[in-house]
Amino acid sequence: MNHFRRSVLALAILVAMPAAAQITLPFHSSNSLIFVEITANGKPVTMLLDSGSVRTLLSAKAMQVDLKLAAMNHKSYERGLEGTIVEMPATVIIGEHKILTDVMAGNLSQLASTMGVDKCDGIIGQDVLRRFKSVRIDYKTRRVEFEE
């Protein structure tokens, strides 16, 4: 009888545990690269999902920032894809998950053509991806699942 009570209690605890919140976004693929639509600083952006990139990178255009002016007020790097790269705060929203983080902003005007795609506003890197418990790519349904 004691074993039965423990089993029922264990089952009740498992049933009562809330399921992990999951955000699911559709993706499109081009040249074996995965792109998702998210929001950065209130603006919709197309981002490359890159688990190999340590930092998240957004175009200065998407950030609506003048790089020369921003470099005066934020940490900047002279070597980058095409000139100055500036580290600055941003609000990134993936589904309903709001992330306040520092991103790298730079001139990414050649990024899309280099990758052979029409549009790419930036790269989602590990600094954002690590905010989730897991990130799963479902190729059959063409969706990326972010587990909180």
Residue 27 lies in a domain: yes
- Residue 6 domain-assigned (yes or no): no
Amino acid at position 43, single letter: K
Beta-carbon count within 10 A of 63 CB: 23
Total number of domains in the chain: 1
Tell me whether residue 12 is in a domain. no
Residue 90 covered by a domain: yes
Give the type of residue at 84. T
In a domain, 68, yes or no: yes
Q: What is the CATH number of the domain that holds 135?
A: 2.40.70.10
What pTM, to 2 d.p., does this model score? 0.79
75 has a pLDDT exceeding 70:
no
Residue 24 or residue 15, greater confidence: 24
10 Å Cβ neighbour count for 148?
14
Q: Dump pLDDT digits (tens) for 42-62.
A: 999 999 999 999 999 999 889
State which residues form the domain around 125: 21-147
Identify whether 104 is part of a domain.
yes
Residue 25 has pLDDT above 70, yes or no: yes
72-82 exposure pattern, b = at least 16 Cβ within 10 A, e = fewer:
eeeebeeebee
In a domain, 67, yes or no: yes
**Residue 92 domain-assigned (yes or no):** yes
Question: Which residue has better confidence, 44 or 9?
Answer: 44
Residue 129, classified by CB atoms within 10 Å of its CB into exposed (0-12), middle (13-18) or buried (19+), is middle
> What does the pLDDT read at residue 71?
65
